[in-house]
Amino acid sequence: MKSRRKLLRLLAFCIVILGLVLVFKSSYVYGKAQLAQFLLRQAWQENKTDANRQQKAWYYADGYPVGELFVESRDISQIVLNEASNRNLAFAPGIWHHPSNNILVAAHNDTHFSFVKELKLGEQISYQAQGKAQQHFKVINKMYVDYRDSNWLLGLNGYLVLITCERRSRLDLVPEGRVVVVAERV
C-alpha cells in the first residue's frame, strides 16, 4: 500500500515537473518571438530612410529589414526582410527575388500571413520599401497555384504580390499549394 502511494506521488510529481517544463518552454518561445519583433522594428527604423543600410536586428541574423507592409483595415503592420529564406520566414515575411518588376512578399500562412486567405478584392494594402515613400495598392486578384508553377507571374509588372502556402489538410506536412494575392498600385 505504501509503495503504491509513493509511486502515485512520484508520478504526480513527474507530471507537475513535465507541466512546468512545457509551460516554461512555450513561454520562452513566445518571449523570444516578441523580442525578435521588437528588435526587427528597431532595425527597420535604422534602415527605413537609407536604401543602402543593412542593419540586422541581431548580430547573427540572416536577414535585415527592407520594408514594411500595412493592411490598415485589419490593423496589420509587418516588417519585411531582404530574403524569403526558411530561416528568415521564421521571424517575418521576406522578399522573394524574381526577375519580374513586382514586389513579391512571402510568409508562412500559419504565422505572419494568416490573414492573406481572408483578403477581399478591393482591399487596400500599403508597402514602404527601404529609402522610399509608402506606396498604396488594392487587391485585384486572388488565386491558388501549385508551388512549382510561376507562369502566373507572366504579364505582371509593377504589382505587389503576397504569397503564402496553402495546406490541403492538417496532414499536409509539405504544402504544395500557394495562395497568391495580387494588388495593383492606386
Give the chain's domains with CATH numbers: 28-185 (2.40.260.10)
Set of cell numbers at residue 84: 524569403
Residue-wise pLDDT for 13-31, tens only, equals 999 898 888 888 777 767 7
Give the closest residue to 103 by CA, choosing from 149, 162, 164.
162
User: Which of 75, 63, 141 is CA-nearest to residue 102?
Assistant: 141
Q: What is the pLDDT of residues 75-93, one digit of tens each?
A: 999 999 999 998 898 899 9
Q: Residue 183: its pLDDT value, please?
A: 97
Q: What is the pLDDT of residue 122?
A: 97
Helices (H), the chain: 2-47, 86-89
- What pLDDT does 2 receive? 77
Residue 19's φ and ψ, nearest 5 degrees, are -60, -45
pTM of the model: 0.82
**Alpha-carbon separation of residue 30 from 17, 25, 50, 79, 91 (angstroms):** 20, 9, 31, 18, 12
DSSP characters over 70-89: EEGGGTEEEEEES---HHHH
pLDDT recorded at residue 172? 64
Residue 164: what pLDDT? 93
The partner residues of 127 in beta bridges, in order of sequence, read 69, 135
Alpha-carbon distance 63 to 89, whole Å?
Answer: 10
pLDDT exceeds 70 at position 95: yes
State pLDDT tens for residues 155-164.
Answer: 888 999 999 9
